[in-house]
Structure 1
Amino acid sequence: MRSTKIIATVGPASRAEHMLQGLVEAGVDTFRINCSYLESHEVLELIQHIRVATPEVGILVDVQGPKLRTGGSHYTFVEGTEIELTPDMFGFDLHEIGIQSGERVLVADGQIELWITAIRGGDITARVLVGGECAPHRGVNFPDTDVKVSALNEKDYGDIAAAKQGGAEWIALSFVRDAAIIEEVRGIVGDEPRIIAKIERRQALMNLEAITRAADGVMAARGDLGAELSFEEVPNMQQRIANLAMIEGKVSICATEMMESMRTNHRPTRAEVADVAGAVREGFSAVMLSAETATGYDPINAVTAMARICDANETHDGAKSYADAHPTESAVGAATAALAKRTGAASIIALTYSGYSSEILSACRPAARIIAATPSPEVARRLRLYWGVTPIVCQRNIDMSVAVDDAFNTAVDEGLVQSNELVVVCASRENIRSAADTIWVHNA
């Protein structure tokens, strides 16, 4: 029983229908669409393609955000020299960024470091602290600057509209600095798709509590985050992101180069195994593959390897942080988890319409598998990203006894429980569409 979920990025190596189906069989719970390489109409087409090939799996649309990249030419930065930063060197106006003297500019994922020495009118000069060769269109970071660029551009709004139209379960927002952009997008899409805030800027870390509360989940996007911070700071910030998400009961995703070597190799390095295992032990809801499945030579093998690492490194001792921080909201969920532990039940069946009860159970991190029985395929797809939740789709009878039997029998048919197995049931007796208010032991 694997509780940590796996997200795989769809790309040229994995978009064929048989490949998508093979990835799901290997362990993928949610597919990611990277909007950086697609037009908005292509985003919608890819959503529809994935939905036809694998209708039971969730989709996360990762919105690109502003492009802070160098221009279209190759540059050589010589360490120790002082240079003028010209408009053609960057694909954007440095003045509009809000940069000040004494601040750093990191180029090519932090491999090149510049220090702004003077700003006089339209002229900006910088000293090259760490030099190197810079290919066209490489990423640029401003770790010391309160960047003024809007988090969304015209293409992003088009991609968000495509995600909404296509029925994607999740949207990941780039360049999040505070909770305001989350509220703006929620005003556009409503309750669905759910919103993941990518934590990749120093400003986001300064506002992490508010961002986590406002979003439905957070992603430790370690590529840009690793350029914004000193490399030795990243592990502590990664753990902080996971801890806060657990306290707030939100989905958390660990991303970027988790098994990068498997783009070309048939097995991960020992360091990559330790990285994935560390994320699992830190309590992340999900781990993510990017280029490994988008352009790698064996995407299915990469997913299989990641699933093996997750299986071998999960602990099910129950994380109490959410229950301690939210005793009222978690009361029924925490009691359900405790009853399952006391009775030795290996599974909890949660009868749910909206998925809320199962989300609360997931936040309580029980040792038992959470089987979320819902009549909604849309809810089932969304719940696949929640830690420890296995969704099943079955009709919800208004008679509670019949509803429980239907859910139990569906779980048996799908091989999730045995026909004579004891399970704990969590549901609402007062109103079948309200939050769970009752728990009991069911033994067929």
Structure 2
Amino acid sequence: MRLSGSMLFIAAVLTMAMSCKKNDDVIPGPGVDKTGGTDTLRIGAAVSYHPKIANPAGATFTWKVNGAVVGNESAYTFTASARGDYHIVFTAGNAATVDSVIYQVKVWGKYENGFFVVQEGQYGATGGDLFYYSYDSNKIAYDVFKTENPGKDFGPPTSTLQFATIYNGKIYMSVKVGGPLVVADAYSMKETGRIDHLPQDEGHAFTGIDNTRGLLSAVDGVYRVNLAGPAIGAKIDGINSAAGDMMVAGEYVFVLTEGDGIVVLKTSDYSIVKKYPKGTMGFARTKDGAVWAAGDSALVRIDPVSLAVTETKVPFKVTNPWALWAWRSGSITASASGNDVYIAERKDGPGIGGTIEYSGTKIYKYTPGNAASFAAPFITIPGDQYFYGSAVRFNERTKELVVLTLTDEWGSSNDNRWLFYDAATGALKQTVRYPGYYFSALPVFY
């Protein structure tokens, strides 16, 4: 049947009306703002989240932290109770759809958002400990190990805390002259184990090899360490003199020794692969993977695969740390994100059973391929200050050189200073100063 024009018009109007009704029946989604965000917190701090919701009526809400449901309101307050990385997801849903937004939170451990400096202690009067510098407050916390472990220490006051390093979430602290090797959680500083008696009562440096093995250098060689104990194991064959700094690179461990210079071991079985007799100071590693050391009047680059050695002359004689009880980690450092190497010029003089390293005021920066790098010092520290301890270390977090000084060449000073230099320009950015006979030995970074 053919419809008249008027009937066609009515049909069209009805169709439009039905279409409009269908559109009116469509329920909009919650419309959650998906911007999200990232936050960093200290333990004990809190952050509140109030995501914007365009259409909250009739919606249900869910908050999940690392997959676990923690709330069903439109807002949520996260309190940092434990160190870690947290993935927080807010979900809003109704009959139409489900919307969500993600927040990422990093909670720093109590001692993670900063760095440590090893304090030797005053021989015969007070034992050593670690001081902690906080990036949050720009202040120093004294004696953090003893604070977190009441009644525990690093041996008698005649012992010297000389070395510490962070490995797999733990900090290993080695003590000279009758002290222990102490292990603590690197983020809370709570002790997790110790070895009370070290070989010949003279521990030097520690390095981790894998999840179960480590090495301790000592006054008479290098010893295996069982990390599960921890416990001292057998001595490494072929190293029979004092040993100091060590570094793991690829398949090899590089060891600085008094008798043989640099000794290269296989990480698999600790067999000796190569010796380089000139090395007396080490180690640093650059972005290209090279291992750096120094000895005599040369800066030494070692290829970590071929073990090929390249020497570059430096404008001073490189000192050594092998006098009795005088060992300390070497004054050489580098950035993992660059190829420049920094080395401090030190003095040396007679010590018991060898040469003792002390003092110094100049730091040189070597850029591979730049013959003029050693033409002049990169940094000369302020007048009436002198290097102490390991002198200089690169802070990868801030891209700064942290330099340790006292106001007496031989260390007879209670005027302690940490100098923070811009590693790119050499400009002095900050000086941290405090009184007391503590003797800063070595910065330790995460």
Superposition TM-score, scaled by structure 2 size = 0.24
Higher relative contact order (CA 8 A, sep 6+): 1
Going by fraction, where is strand more abundant, 1 or 2? 2
Going by fraction, where is helix more abundant, 1 or 2? 1
